[in-house]
Amino acid sequence: MEQVTLKSIASELGISITTASKALKNYPDVSPKTRKAVIDLARKLNYIPNSFAVNLRTKESKVIGLIIPEIVHYFFSNVVNAIIEYAEKKGYLIITLQSNESDKLEEKQIELLLNKRVDGILISLSNNRKDLSPIHKIVESGTPLVLFDKISKLINCSKVIINDRDAAYAATEHLINTGCKDIAHFRGPLNPQNSIDRFLGYKKALEDSKLHFDKSLVYTCEKVSFEEGYNFAKELHQSNKKVDAIFAITDLVAIGAITYFNEANVKIPEDISIIGFSNWFMASVISPSLSSVDQPGYEMGKKAIKLLLKEIKAIKKGKKIKHKTIVLPTNVIKRSSTRD
């Protein structure tokens, strides 16, 4: 079946397109009889007004665009759930775009959202985002923007984050306080700020405890995957380097390492302590259960959407906006993969 247009409705009723359009918009200069005829026919033919007309009428799309690097991620799933839940209560729909950590795809998605004239945009940046001009473009377009988790400090907008450096410091400190001295780090990629900050927190904790920082104990996970955790644990084990603990960039990587050590009959935490990051629910299910840093994904999503809707409202009222950066607290969850 072809898509029904206003033109076809008008021509079927023998009236002008303008009259048909006015009838659907409830303009007073159309007779009740004509209005009824147009509405009845539009219903019968299942006419869908185009989004431009709808936008023009309401001046709002009631749609928020959300771009995240990946949704398979437990942390982002919690963020997305919180955002959808809160937005729905306030009458907004969320369209989610997954950049798959590709800055090129992310750029196309930003363009799409701006073209669709969404009321606001939420982004957690892809790991490969170096050129910030597409993000600046959002700000310049006047579309409210809130960045969360993976952000750039150089963008003039509101942000919701955790303090990755402090959180990583606390995780490493927990290893040191439980007697570990040769601590490896399975870090994230070199570009994203949160991966840099976690590395710096790890390094600072070593320095503050007068422990030697050995860069050969730092392994870089490009994909932050289970497999990388497994393979680096194997590499480390077979290298005969002196190591008594690992701080992993995420729980997924840590679980990969645990899986290898379980297979290789290396005792956790007696022979090696492991701590992850994000407190995925599987952390408490795995054997041994995984110590981790609790990263409040649900809370972060909720704060981000609340902040965005507040800014949308303020802009609509012509008020000036003062951008905010909200830093959420994290804490170390001690389980069986680290010593008492």
Distances in Å between the alpha carbon of 114 and those of 80, 87, 118? 20, 19, 6
Question: CA–CA distance from 213 to each of 160, 175, 209, 239, 272 (Å)?
Answer: 31, 14, 11, 18, 18
According to CB under 8 A, which residues from 76 to 95 bind a copy of itself? 77-78, 80-81, 84-85, 88, 93-95
- Residue 264 CB, nearest approach to a copy of itself (Å): 15
Is residue 115 part of the contact set for a copy of itself (CB under 8 A)?
yes
Place of tokens 């590709």: 102
Which tokens belong to 78? Answer: 């919690």
What does the alpha-carbon distance between residue 18 and residue 224 come to, in Å, rounded to a whole number?
Answer: 57
Residues in contact with a copy of itself, shown as a per-residue x/- string from 259 to 288 under the rule CB under 8 A: x--x------------------xx--xxx-
Nearer to a copy of itself, 10 or 252 (CB): 252
Residue 107 beta carbon to a copy of itself: minimum distance, rounded to whole angstroms: 11
Residue 276 has which token pair? 């992850």
Of the candidates 13, 117, 324, 336, which one interacts with a copy of itself according to CB under 8 A? 117
**Residue 109 contacts a copy of itself per CB under 8 A:** yes
**Residue whose CB is less far from a copy of itself, 39 or 176:** 39
- Residues near 161 by Cβ (< 8 Å), separated by ≥ 6? 148, 149, 151, 300, 325, 326, 327, 328
> In which residue are the tokens 């991620």 written?
73
- Is 53 or 327 the residue whose CB approaches a copy of itself more closely? 53
DSSP string computed for 143-159: --EEEESS--TTS-SEE
Count of CB atoms within 10 A of residue 294's CB?
Answer: 16
Show contacts with a copy of itself in window 127-156 (CB under 8 A). Answer: 137, 140-143
Q: Does 97 bind a copy of itself (CB under 8 A)?
A: yes
Q: What are phi and psi of 159, to 5 degrees?
A: -140, 150
Taking the CB of residue 141, how many other CB atoms lie within 10 A of it?
13
Instruction: Examine residue 3 and tell whether it contacts a copy of itself (CB under 8 A).
Output: yes
Amino acid (1-letter code) at residue 97: L
Closer to a copy of itself by CB, 53 or 264: give it.
53
Task: Write down the least CB distance from residue 69 to a copy of itself, Å.
Answer: 12
Smallest separation (angstroms) from a copy of itself to the CB of 1:
4
Contact pattern from residue 202 through residue 241 relative to a copy of itself, giving x for each residue in contact according to CB under 8 A and a dash for the rest: ------------------------x---------------
Q: Among residues 152, 248, 127, 255, which one has the least CA distance to residue 198?
A: 248
For binding to a copy of itself (CB under 8 A), which residues are involved? 1-3, 46, 48-55, 63, 70-72, 74, 77-78, 80-81, 84-85, 88, 93-98, 100, 105, 108-109, 112, 114-117, 137, 140-143, 226, 255, 259, 262, 281-282, 285-287
